[in-house]
Structure 1
Amino acid sequence: MQATSTVDHPEAPPAVKSRSFKRAFGDVREAWDHRELWGHLGWQDIKQRYRRSVIGPLWITISMGTTALALGLLYSVLLGAELPAFLPYITAGFIVWNFILGCVTEGTDVFIANEGLIKHLPAPITVHVMRMVWRQVLFLLHNLVIYVIVMMIFFGTLSEPYRMTQDGPLQPGLSWTVALAIPGFILLAINAVWVSLLFGVISTRFRDIPPVVNSFINLVFFMTPIVWDASILTKVTKGSPEDGAWRMWIAELNPVYHFVEIVRAPLLGHTVDWHHWAVVGGFTVVGWLLALVILRNYRARVSYWV
């Protein structure tokens, strides 16, 4: 039998390189096309976790409420803040932080935890990331119940211009700008996908990454203005006012602060500075470029590494 080649059959499709940005984009696009799959799996994760519980997912809401109440009472006294203004600040900050925390910690383990599905389910690896992010979105929606309750209790204070501390900046109060939290959260979720892809792939190759991230994330929490207000950094007891401006860089150089602020500030009726959106936009572009490079080079190896 005489061998033939693709030269003799010009209609034969050319071979697709295993490492190409087309494959990387295709993985993300196919994962979005499988949204019914990861959407269903995300719901099942919630049901499975609270299958034998009496009140089920309401434990998520109760846990968030008790944590926000306890820390709000404590830090309002320590920082000399007004409780009707500071407790909503703590609550909104914790809701956003818990979403970020869940996406980062579970994102590093997303492919390792889904080893069986990756090896037996013919689906893009981004599906597992989408499933995890969707699960965290459901957690956040449960936690928003606490936000609504707190807003109803302290609406009289937050509906007008107010200060969280006696010397703090004057905030305009709740208005139609609360709708800006929606695009802010969409940006947050988009970034959660690339973070999980990037760290998830790296963690399958280097298993030391998850414990390192879990240890480092605790430091990030205390360095991020969540239980404290960034405006206290500008208060100086000694030196010139420039010293206070320099201290503000402690918060500004923390990227998590900007991600929290684009969602928390509209929810509380605070003014959102444009530079928060600029920083988040920059991280979105750079982060997705890095994630696509990782997908291009190592997407096919994940099933072997897990």
Structure 2
Amino acid sequence: MRAVLSVAVSASAIESPAPDGELPVSDSQTFRRAFQDLRDGFAQRELWLSLGWQDIKQRYRRSVIGPFWITIATGVQATAFGILYSALLDIPLQQFLPYVTVGLIVWNVISASILEGSEVFIANEGLIKQLPAPLSVHIYRLVWRQILLFTHNLLIYFVLLFAFGVWREITWTSIAVVPALALLALNAVWVSLLFGIIATRYRDIAPILSSLTLMLFVLTPIMWTTESLEAQGGEVAKRARIAELNPLFHYLDIVRAPMIGADQEAYHWYIVLTITVVGWALALFALRKYRSRVAYWV
């Protein structure tokens, strides 16, 4: 009886008008709640740090070398691409192989943010319905997992650093890789958040993103260089500039150039920073508007 009375009292309190004669407005769709979700999710870092590590251990359970299989696969793929395209583009292997390898390592983080990010809430349906945790926990878990895989793949980079003499090209400006990686992780959060919410509501988005990511992989200078195309002159050189319309090219450049000691233009950073601001604005709007509906969509 007391429970019924408490429910009735709370319902009447909700339906009763505010002192100024207006009905109280729920704050479930406010930016305050959106920011609170991000803060509360980050505060539960022990949870998503543990879950991200368990994801990797579960994937390679009963494996002798565990997650280093990813390192081996990336290394074999980079070696194959490097040998083939260095011959096709007439670029010395010792110069081209580090370029391709670092490009693939960074690309793995970018593509996972898009592809796995689009299914992050669908893949965690059970946890979302049973565990009262902020949505951002699943985003942080995904990004943390990709950081761990990126760290494993850095082993290939350090091998190339000394095997091909890349360390000779490293200067003090290479310290720019630190803010570049931080910016990449920051973008991975909003990409996974935005695409995760949209793809949860519209299930056709995930396969579309998969096809789009494959196309962007070909259009992004990973297995080829813009310099090699520009060196041919004429229409080919003009078409090489089209690569700059690909936003992923700029994300790739701000990380790869410092790691291999290559020259870099400042406009890459300006473009990435602009996309970061716009992307986070869209992600926050989506989180504010649809955060409470994700549990019903999964």
TM-score of the superposed pair, with normalisation by structure 1: 0.88
Identical-residue share of aligned pairs (%): 53
Matched, 1:144 2:154: yes
- Residue 270 of structure 2 aligns with which residue? 278
- The alpha-carbon deviation at position 178 of structure 1 amounts to 2.0
- Residue 286 of structure 2 aligns with which residue? 294
- Residue 67 of structure 1 aligns with which residue? 77
Among residues 170, 175, 181, which one is paired with 2:171 in the alignment? 175
- The alpha-carbon deviation at position 232 of structure 1 amounts to 2.4
- The alpha-carbon deviation at position 32 of structure 1 amounts to 1.1
1:87-110 deviation line (CA, Å, top 9, x unaligned): 110111000001111111100000
Where does the alignment leave 5 or more consecutive residues of structure 1 unmatched?
Answer: 161-172
The whole-number CA distance in structure 2 between the counterparts of 1:51 and 1:204 is: 29
Matched, 1:77 2:96: no
The whole-number CA distance in structure 2 between the counterparts of 1:32 and 1:16 is: 24
- Residue 103 of structure 1 aligns with which residue? 113
1:62-114 deviation line (CA, Å, top 9, x unaligned): 11111111111111100000111111101110000011111111000000000
- Residue 17 of structure 1 aligns with which residue? 27
Among residues 172, 183, 189, which one is paired with 1:187 in the alignment? 183
- Residue 54 of structure 2 aligns with which residue? 44
The whole-number CA distance in structure 2 between the counterparts of 1:53 and 1:104 is: 28
Matched, 1:304 2:286: no
Aligned residues: 284
- The alpha-carbon deviation at position 244 of structure 1 amounts to 5.5
- Residue 258 of structure 1 aligns with which residue? 250
The whole-number CA distance in structure 2 between the counterparts of 1:214 and 1:23 is: 31
The whole-number CA distance in structure 1 between the counterparts of 2:31 and 2:103 is: 37
1:197-223 deviation line (CA, Å, top 9, x unaligned): 111000111001111111111110000
The whole-number CA distance in structure 2 between the counterparts of 1:177 and 1:8 is: 59
- The alpha-carbon deviation at position 302 of structure 1 amounts to 0.1
Residue identity matched to 2:116: E
Among residues 140, 152, 158, which one is paired with 1:130 in the alignment? 140
Among residues 107, 113, 128, which one is paired with 2:123 in the alignment? 113
- Residue 226 of structure 2 aligns with which residue? 230
Residue identity matched to 2:122: I
TM-score of the superposed pair, with normalisation by structure 2: 0.90
- The alpha-carbon deviation at position 249 of structure 1 amounts to 2.8
The whole-number CA distance in structure 1 between the counterparts of 2:125 and 2:204 is: 17
* Structure 1 segment 1-16 matched on structure 2, within 5 A: 16=26
- The alpha-carbon deviation at position 235 of structure 1 amounts to 3.0
- The alpha-carbon deviation at position 182 of structure 1 amounts to 1.2
Cα RMSD after superposing both structures: 2.1
Q: Classify 1:182/1:231 alpha carbon distance in 2 versus 1 (closer, same or farther; 3 Å).
A: same
Among residues 36, 40, 46, which one is paired with 1:26 in the alignment? 36
1:25-69 deviation line (CA, Å, top 9, x unaligned): 111111111111101100000111111111111101111111111
Per residue, is there more helix in 1 or in 2? Answer: 2
Three-state SS of the structure 2 residue aligned to 1:53 is coil
- Residue 104 of structure 2 aligns with which residue? 94
Three-state SS of the structure 2 residue aligned to 1:17 is coil
Three-state SS of the structure 1 residue aligned to 2:270 is helix
The whole-number CA distance in structure 1 between the counterparts of 2:187 and 2:270 is: 14
Three-state SS of the structure 2 residue aligned to 1:282 is helix
Matched, 1:248 2:240: yes
Residue identity matched to 1:95: I
Residue identity matched to 2:48: W
Three-state SS of the structure 2 residue aligned to 1:248 is helix
Q: Classify 1:236/1:304 alpha carbon distance in 2 versus 1 (closer, same or farther; 3 Å).
A: same
Contact 2:161-2:167 at 8 Å conserved across structures: no
